[in-house]
Amino acid sequence: MRFRDGQWLVAEGVRIEYAEEVYRITPTASGKGISLLCPTRKVMTRGDTLNLSTLSIDIEAAFDGVISVETTHWQGALRRGPDFELYPAGRPEVDAKVSTTEHGTTLSSGSLSATVSGKPHDFAISFHPTNNAKKSLTTLLNRSVGLAYTPAPSTPMQIADMRNFKHYIFTQTTLGVGESVHGLGERFGPFNKVGQKVDLWNADGGTSSDQAYKNVSFWMSSRGYGVFIDTPERVELEIGSERCCRVQTSVEGQRLRWFLIYGPTPRDVLRRYAVLTGLPGKVPAWSFGLWLSTSFTTSYDEKTVNSFLAGMKARDIPVEVFHFDCFWLKAFQWCDFEFDQEMFPDPKGQISRLKADGVVKKVCVWTNPYLGQASPVFAEAAEKGYLLKRKNGDVFQWDLWQTGMGIVDFTNPAACDWFVKCMEKLFDTGVDCIKTDFGERIPSEDVQWFDHSVDPKKMHNHYAFIYNKLVYEALQKRYGANEAVLFARSATAGTQRFPLTWGGDCESTPEAMAESLRGGLSLGLSGFAFWSVDIGGFEGYPPPWIYKRWVAFGLLCSHSRLHGSNSYRVPWTVDDDDTSEEGCSATLRKWTHLKARLMPYLFSQALECVRDGLPLSLRAMCIEFPDDPTAWTLDRQFMLGDSLLVAPVFEEDGTVQFYLPAGKWTNFFTGEVKAGSAWYTETHSFATLPLYVRPNTLLVLGKEGETRTVYDYTGEVEVRSYFAGEGAKAVLVDSEGKTAGVLEVKNGEITGKEALKGGCEIKVVSE
């Protein structure tokens, strides 16, 4: 929200009161920080302390490298939930140190410090590395912390009745020269958020607007720090847009807390952010294989499903997971978890037969947390209080999406139990994983949750967290802690604990493919390890060339799914079953087989991502190359783990421009070596794209011709050396995720080869 009209004027209808000086500094109640009493005018005489507002700013050491800043106007305001689940793995010990000199008061939390100016009648707070006070990461300067009223009261007496006023708290951290800002969830617009207004409010808006399914209140700066805003309510950011040199964060309410997280590298920032909100959950090896969907509004039954899977098998395109989208349910009855008996008279038998025939290993079904009133279940759910209500006691309903749709109230424990029982019935049918769609359009006005203590505005974004957590934990209970997999669309901070997510409803265009890529990059910089996209685009009918280019992109994402809206995504329906080597079937086969060969590398990298809070794919280039300024601008390419650079092709003629950071990079397909730091333009057939191996890499691959997703990742593998110097490593893991050994270059030789089983080949590609 903009509170000013340019630099000099206040916006019409707004009253702003700024923290003008630090009047007093005292210890916080926890003993781990300092509390600043900040009047909204300079206090020159005793009389100046009367008839004015003050802001309390509590600065506390959270843990090494992390400091929290909480600004409060009226302390008596209720602290209504829900709140983010912080420190899910436990809070680290913190050694808070406070020191005072003539220059000011400094709070240190390990490697990060905050220094409050000691000048009389001054307001300035600098955040800097503890060992270098002159290297400011960001600051809060004059007129950077305040409160605002809309409409502007004409007299303080009007504030006695707050019902007609909105009250905001805001802070403005400085943006340095050349600083860029990234993250804030899955955002499809420009990769660098400077110059943008961003509202963190989950919405079902597709991939081609400023709305987002996954709003995450965390952003990363190119200056070596990140900021996590600790509230699930609507947060409005003006990122160099109200003031070009500041990031303004505002919320409606009496309090605003955020954490400043020091790196200095993006890896360090993400690791510390994961301590706050949780590490990504593990995913099983089979989930990396190809997922095939029925698509959305298409007509399908058991015969159609069988034809799809038989067709894929005949074309040597392995399918790991088959997904039944919406119309496994009876029309108007979504989502009551009952197979449409007319189309699927024997779902348990059908699923059993599919698996027994070997055409697919796992089955997924589409669900959502809404319930149409045409379902026989609706009346029961409404009567038992399982559905969200209006303030007058009515069930909240509307006709958006499903006629008379109600929303499951997950603040009601009985509703949660019922929902889990519905999941368990699906598991009994043979369903292995769940697509948790929707969860974004959660009303925040005229609603009453079962838990009366929650704030409806905070519930809007937080709903995605509790919805996905509930289903994920139900899967864990049935199949094991590391076998649970979601395919979720909505998310907020912390939802990375319940993998995985996909990018939502994109069009079948190259522009939409690029939008999706930007969304995946931004989500990866928000702490999410695993991500997928609707290969070919969701909306429309992709022409063959877009389908094939998207296949190459999609099979190099961490997870890969063919899915559409009103048209099928099996390859032979896209190009009239072109059987040539340039056809859709051949292209899909090649890339599916390549991903199978990459599994020893991918699964090992996935476990590192889970351990460190990193994205596997899409991984922004700046994570691996933070000292290269160009890396912070790259939004058409990504890293797949530590060692593989991927640049999707967006042009019909196959041309693509990409950037290689410093070093000697090797073309995965041809072995050609190119030197960075440099831009290149190449032209590619449908069987290739710029896939370059980073120097100093030992790359472990499945054997030539490998088509399986799950196999022995230490037997009959190929180890490739790409300019692998002293200390280059590759961690060997088995298909269960257990470490089997480590290959490492020592004294010019690869050690650890005893962990490899028979039939392995070691090949020096580049030296």
Please give the positions annotated as active site: 437, 440, 505
Q: What angle do CA 290, 293, 297 make, to 5 degrees?
A: 160
CA–CA distance, 680 with 675 (Å, rounded to integer): 10
Tokens of 695: 């120097």
Query: How many other C-beta atoms lie within 10 A of the C-beta of residue 181?
Result: 25
Helix, strand, or coil (residue 699): strand
Residues in the chain, overall count: 767
Q: Is the dihedral of CA 237, 241, 246, 252 positive or negative?
A: negative
**What is the C-alpha separation between 578 and 348, in angstroms, rounded?**
35
- Per the CB < 8 A criterion, the answer to whether 523 and 186 are in contact is yes
Rounded to 5 degrees, φ, ψ at 335 are -125, 100
Q: Which residues have a Cβ under 8 Å from the Cβ of 157 and sit 6 or more positions away? A: none
User: Which two structure tokens, joined as six digits, stand for 701?
Assistant: 């691959």
Kindly tell me the sign of the dihedral angle through the C-alpha atoms of 5, 10, 12, 18.
positive
Q: Cα separation of 259 and 57, whole Å? A: 13
DSSP state of 395: B
Q: Contacts by 542-547 with C-beta closer than 8 Å and gap 24+?
A: 542/508, 542/574, 543/508, 544/574, 544/575, 544/578, 544/583, 544/584, 545/652, 545/686, 546/508, 546/509, 546/510, 546/513, 547/508, 547/571, 547/574, 547/575, 547/584
What are the structure tokens assigned to 722, written together? 């790409």
Which one-letter amino acid corresponds to residue 149? Y
Residue 257 has φ and ψ, to the nearest 5°, of -125, 135
Cα of first residue to Cα of last residue in the chain, in angstroms, is: 55
Check: CB of residue 498 under 8 Å from CB of residue 468: yes
User: Tokens standing for 179?
Assistant: 């600083």
Biggest alpha carbon distance in the chain?
88
CA-based nearest residue to 552, from 539, 573, 535, 567: 535
**3-state SS record for 103-124:** CEEEEEECCEEEEEECCCCCCC
* Identity of residue 549: R
Q: How far apart are CA 586 and CA 606, in angstroms?
A: 28
Q: How far apart are CA 496 and CA 525, in angstroms?
A: 11
Q: What is the DSSP letter of 251?
A: E
- Which one, of 258, 283, 352, 237, lies nearest residue 3 by Cα? 237
